Amino acid sequence: MAKPGGSSSGGSGGSSSEPFSIGSQLLVLLSADSAALAVYSEGQLLRHKVHTGYTVRQQQGKAQATYERQGGGARSVGGSIRARETRRLFQAAAATLAGWEGDVAGCSLLFRSGSVRAWNELYAARSPPVPVDRRDPRWQPVGLSMRRPRLEDAERAFAALSTGTLWERLQ
C-alpha cells in the first residue's frame, strides 16, 4: 500500500510526505594557530567555537612546534610563550569537544581538516580527552584547505559538503 503523497510504483519519480533527515554533523577545522569547531543539526548551525593562539613565528611563518621538532627549541621568552600557547590552543579545543560530548555522540558524520601534526596536538591533549576516537569511521576529510579557520570557513565548508547534484539515470 502506498503512503499518502508517495508513489505507488516504488520508483524514484514520486515524492514522499516524510521529510528527509540529514541528522547532525561535526566540523573540526585545525591549523597551527587556530581551531574552528561547529555542530550542525538538520542543516542549521547548532553551536560553534573558534580558538586562536599566538603560536606562529612571525618572521619565519612556521608554528613554534614545527620549529622545535626541527631542532630549534624554545630558547627565547617568545618561543616559550608560543609553545605554551600551542598547548593551550589544542587543550581548549579538546575541552570544547568534551563539553559537546552529547552532541558529538549524536553526529552521523564528523568532518575534519588540518595537518596530521595539528591532529596529533589535539589528541595529545589528555585532560579532558577528545570524546571521539581518531579512528572513528564517521571521520571524513573536508577536502578544502583553510589557512586560519574561522566560523566563516566552517560555514563555507559545510555548504560545500552539504550541497550536491542528483542525477536520475534515464533508461
44, 58, 60, 64: which one is catalytic? 64
Give all strands (DSSP E) within 4-106, no chain letters: 24-30, 34-41, 44-52
CB 27 within 8 A of CB 38: yes
Q: What share of the chain is helix, strand, coil (3-state, %, to 5)?
A: 30, 20, 45
Question: Please, is 109 exposed, middle or buried when counting C-beta atoms within 10 Å of its C-beta (0-12, 13-18, 19+)?
Answer: middle
Active site residue 58: no
Residue with cell 589528541: 123
Residue 134 neighbours by CB distance under 10 Å: 11
List active site positions: 64
